[in-house]
Amino acid sequence: MAADRRTVIENCAIATVDVADTEYATGHLVLAGDRIESLGPGPAPEGLENVTRRIDATGHLATPGLVNTHHHFYQWLTRGLATDHNLFDWLVALYPTWARIDEAMVHAAAQGSLAMMARGGVTTAMDHHYVFPRGSGDLSEAIITAARDMGVRFTLARGSMDRGESDGGLPPDFAVETLDDALAATEETVRRHHDTSPGAMTQIAVAPCSPFSVSTELMRQGAELARRLGVRLHTHGSETVEEEKFCHELFGMGPTDYFASTGWLGEDVWMAHCVHMNDSDIAAFARTGTGVAHCPSSNARLAAGIARVPDMLAAGVPVGLGVDGTASNESGELHTELRNALLINRLGAHREKALTARQALRLGTHGGARVLGRADEIGSLEPGKLADLVLWRMDTLAHASIADPVTALVFGAAAPVTASFVNGRQIVENGRLLTADEDAVARTTRAEARRLARIAGQV
């Protein structure tokens, strides 16, 4: 077999986000095939064979690629609506429109969501998709195809809802599936698409939507299904005070106790939000290794509250960052969440050391890899790991006067991405996608958003 082709990157600052937080003021990386072969201070070793590309990354910071742990791609078509609503009002306002999505719309929305994240340094994306209107086509396939074509590593959390209004749930009855249909379709999606091989680009998780849109039976059987198939579990949890009240009224307990009672705490589980957690909830997450997708912008947008991330980290809870759907975070970018996580958690804790720039970067990289169950392959720059990394440009007006590049990246304006690699393949160059025509994606998403609005009777 021919030796792997090597790419040498030199003269950049490097934040490895390894366990010791190793950094180099000026260093090099050698990529071989889909892996990081070596890295360290100063120039690359001389005499390397099979070097097909050398990148002079002077003025740049290299970090692991960003890992997004919570999103709803389809919401790309309903951005900027219900802008002054809390979670439940916002959901009720948007469910009727969401229930009209079809395959072409979902594909376009996935392209828009993925493109926006990828050009901003995301190398691993996820989509929690839980709206499957009858007769709307193969939505999972449409989403997975979009991710594959974009060249982004991807987890599809196959969602579901089976608790409609007539069963005391929040979504209208026409927007939900039956218990049996949801379980069968989820199992089929796992069997068809979940890749367990090293460096996998597509993985599937089992992901009933939330306590207020899913029956207890679907929560229970969903957890059993995931464990039988060996895949991870994802859902929304403890997002708002209204959800907490709902759980107490319907189940006679708070969300975390409800999750415990349905088999939903464990190392193979991660949950979005986890805003309203008391000390014993956080202890239960820490004890069981249950992960959290922290979504600061979405929580602020919907006035949900501030998750206790510093307390979670102190207790040992795995925490990653999430954009959340773009109907509750119109920017759709993960790199801004690094900054928002830092600022919001300092506000929430009234403490200037509540979260540091380096902790924020860790949440967006290694923390995300942990909650997706992939920390052995991605999330830090180390020899043998997959070559998922970003070169951030730090020598322009926006950042050049800030001496420390990690401080510049997290505290400063969104940094331009000069290059982004997934499995050693470059997918972004100078802020533009190499794997898709951004202008064409913008046009398609606009057309599909208009078509959805028309069908849903908004215009």
Nearer to Zn ion by Cβ, of 265 and 275: the residue is: 275
Nearer to Zn ion by Cβ, of 354 and 371: the residue is: 371
**CA quadruple 244, 246, 249, 251: dihedral positive or negative?**
negative
Give the interface size with Zn ion as a residue count (CB under 5 A): 2
> Taking CB under 5 A as the criterion, which residues in 181-220 touch Zn ion?
none
Q: Distance between CA atoms of 183 and 223, rounded to whole angstroms?
A: 10
Helix (H, G, I), strand (E, B) or coil at 364: helix
Among the listed residues 211, 213, 130, 129, the one whose alpha carbon sits nearest the alpha carbon of residue 164: 213
Question: Minimum CB separation from Zn ion for residue 284, in Å?
Answer: 21
Please calculate the CA angle 226-372-208 and round it to the nearest 5 degrees. 40
> Taking CB under 5 A as the criterion, which residues in 8-47 touch Zn ion?
none
Helix (H, G, I), strand (E, B) or coil at 218: helix
Question: Minimum CB separation from Zn ion for residue 73, in Å?
Answer: 11
Other CB atoms within a 10 A radius of the CB of residue 245 amount to 11
Q: Distance between CA atoms of 353 and 345, rounded to whole angstroms?
A: 9
Taking CB under 5 A as the binding criterion, the range among 10-18, 220-228, 324-332, 349-357 that sits at the site for Zn ion is 324-332
Question: Minimum CB separation from Zn ion for residue 324, in Å?
Answer: 5
> Taking CB under 5 A as the criterion, which residues in 357-386 touch Zn ion?
none
Q: Distance between CA atoms of 122 and 153, rounded to whole angstroms?
A: 9
Strands (E) across 17-108 are located at: 23-32, 35-41, 51-56, 60-64, 66-67
CA 79 to chain centre: 18
Taking CB under 5 A as the binding criterion, the range among 185-193, 319-327, 371-379, 412-420 that sits at the site for Zn ion is 319-327
Q: Distance between CA atoms of 61 and 392, rounded to whole angstroms?
A: 5
Nearer to Zn ion by Cβ, of 243 and 324: the residue is: 324
Nearer to Zn ion by Cβ, of 205 and 272: the residue is: 272
Nearer to Zn ion by Cβ, of 24 and 74: the residue is: 74
Question: Minimum CB separation from Zn ion for residue 170, in Å?
Answer: 13
Angle between helices 139-150 and 179-193 (to 10 degrees): 30
**Residue nearest to Zn ion as judged by C-beta position:** 324
Quote the tokens at residue 31. Answer: 């990529």
Question: Minimum CB separation from Zn ion for residue 291, in Å?
Answer: 15
Question: Minimum CB separation from Zn ion for residue 239, in Å?
Answer: 8
Nearer to Zn ion by Cβ, of 272 and 433: the residue is: 272
Question: Minimum CB separation from Zn ion for residue 130, in Å?
Answer: 9
448 in Cβ contact with 105 (< 8 Å): yes
Q: Kindly write down the DSSP assignment for every residue of 413-426, as one continuous string.
A: SPPPEEEEEETTEE
Nearer to Zn ion by Cβ, of 26 and 336: the residue is: 336
Residue type, 276: H
> Taking CB under 5 A as the criterion, which residues in 261-280 touch Zn ion?
272
Q: Distance between CA atoms of 222 and 160, rounded to whole angstroms?
A: 10
Question: Minimum CB separation from Zn ion for residue 272, in Å?
Answer: 5
Nearer to Zn ion by Cβ, of 272 and 292: the residue is: 272
* 239 scored as a contact of Zn ion (CB under 5 A): no
Instruction: Determine which residue in the list 162, 268, 324, 448 makes contact with Zn ion, applying CB under 5 A.
Output: 324
Question: Minimum CB separation from Zn ion for residue 32, in Å?
Answer: 38
Quote the tokens at residue 351. Answer: 């403490």
Nearer to Zn ion by Cβ, of 85 and 346: the residue is: 85
Residue type, 383: P
Question: Minimum CB separation from Zn ion for residue 75, in Å?
Answer: 9
Please calculate the CA angle 169-217-174 and round it to the nearest 5 degrees. 40
Q: Distance between CA atoms of 362 and 383, rounded to whole angstroms?
A: 18
Taking CB under 5 A as the binding criterion, the range among 29-37, 223-231, 323-331, 371-379 that sits at the site for Zn ion is 323-331
Quote the tokens at residue 295. Answer: 């979504």
Question: Minimum CB separation from Zn ion for residue 252, in Å?
Answer: 25
Among the listed residues 377, 393, 358, the one whose alpha carbon sits nearest the alpha carbon of residue 13: 393
Nearer to Zn ion by Cβ, of 75 and 345: the residue is: 75
Nearer to Zn ion by Cβ, of 311 and 324: the residue is: 324
Taking CB under 5 A as the binding criterion, the range among 35-43, 171-179, 318-326, 419-427 that sits at the site for Zn ion is 318-326
Return residues touching Zn ion (CB under 5 A): 272, 324
